[in-house]
Amino acid sequence: MINIKQKMSRGVRESISKHSFSSRMIIIGIFLVLFSAHDLFSFSEAQQLQFGFYSETCPSAESIVGDVVKQAVTKDPGNAAVLLRLHFHDCFVEGCDGSILIKHEVNDDERFAPGNAGVGGFDVIDNAKSELERLCPGVVSCADIVALAARNAVVVAKGPFYEVPTGRRDGLTSDKSNAANLPDVEDSISILKSKFREKGLSDKDLVLLSAGAHTIGTTACFFIMSRLDAQDSTISPQFFQVLRSKCPKGGDVNVRIPLDWESQFVFDEQIFRNIRDGKGVIKSDSVLYQDNDMKNIIESYLASNESSEANFAADFAEAMVKIAADFAEAMVKMGAIGVKTGVKGEVRRICNATN
């Protein structure tokens, strides 16, 4: 069996040998590579999920979600990160079951948990659900829509396409108390590792799904004020001044700033360079580089030969192939956390309320 990274690397090498590309063209080419994971991933924890689950019952399901997401991200590029974050926060509480979408009148649902502050994208999911209900009523679950929307958001941001196994059922409950243990921007590296391991995710998954996913999107000054006030030593002096100018002491904590200062709307490797160079915006990103294991993982994604301009394009392309493939694998792995299938859940008619 060909390893997925080897498969993509070979394709990129062949493209480089046949054509003369600029670095940017090579990067775009990598991100648009469509690769199948049908026989390359194991889902022991979610054996009933299937690739193409809706191929007979609602053949256009994935394309419909894709169209809705593309429209949303085209209208507001920030929606790519919003949808990616929505999927992450759904999966980390009660599994990937769409429970974060449920809305109660008394505000005791997951949306109102402190760790879910600022989570959005609900309108995009609702739009996709409305279109799917019109064409295939009662067939496509909201949980699957969230997972597919996250994938397509990554693709629109010039990230990797990856196949998403579907067949999730929607959860029946949503309680903000269940979201009390979400990863937090103030968590130490040991706590972050523990929270990810509890979900069956590795240290590499932590780097990719936490820091790596922050290659796109923004955060509010609220989430970095404490480290600025404490003059966190993991922030480079020059970048500290940049952050402080955007988030002054006593200023508006709702002001939003990029998580990846160099390329906030494009899926690329820059976030790892930022973390290495003391330009991590939030603490939970910066602390990764203070841990030897995490540091080695980050360095593995930055191991291109920048000293030789002649080799840079090919080396950089190989590094991006590795990041893209590993990120896709981690996303599919996360998407299988605690899923409900068969009779363990339902297919909601509207996503913000149970049937």
Query: Which residues are marked as active site?
Result: 89
Residue 256 dihedral angles phi and psi, to the nearest 5°? -105, 140
| Number of Cβ within a 10 Å radius of residue 127 | 18
CA dihedral sign of residues 333, 125, 52, 322? negative
**Is 286 a known ligand-binding residue?**
no
β-strand pairing of 34-35 with 161-162 = parallel
Beta bridge partners of 169: 340
| Structure tokens, 97 | 């079951």
With H, G, I as helix, E, B as strand and everything else as coil, classify residue 110. helix
Spell out the residues 6+ positions from residue 221 whose beta carbon is closer than 8 angstroms to its own: 246, 247, 251, 252, 253, 254, 255, 256, 257
- The CA-to-CA distance between both ends of the chain, in Å, stands at 43
**Is 214 a known ligand-binding residue?**
yes
| Structure tokens, 238 | 């020059």
**Is 229 a known ligand-binding residue?**
no
Residue ranges in 199-255 assigned as alpha helix (H): 203-206, 225-229, 237-246
Q: Report the C-alpha gap between 277 and 288 in whole angstroms.
A: 12
**Is 95 a known ligand-binding residue?**
yes
**Is 104 a known ligand-binding residue?**
no
Residues in the chain: 355
**Is 97 a known ligand-binding residue?**
yes
Residue numbering of the annotated binding site for heme b: 214
Binding residues for substrate: 183
Query: Annotated binding site for Ca(2+): which residue ranges?
Result: 90, 93, 95, 97, 99, 215, 260, 268
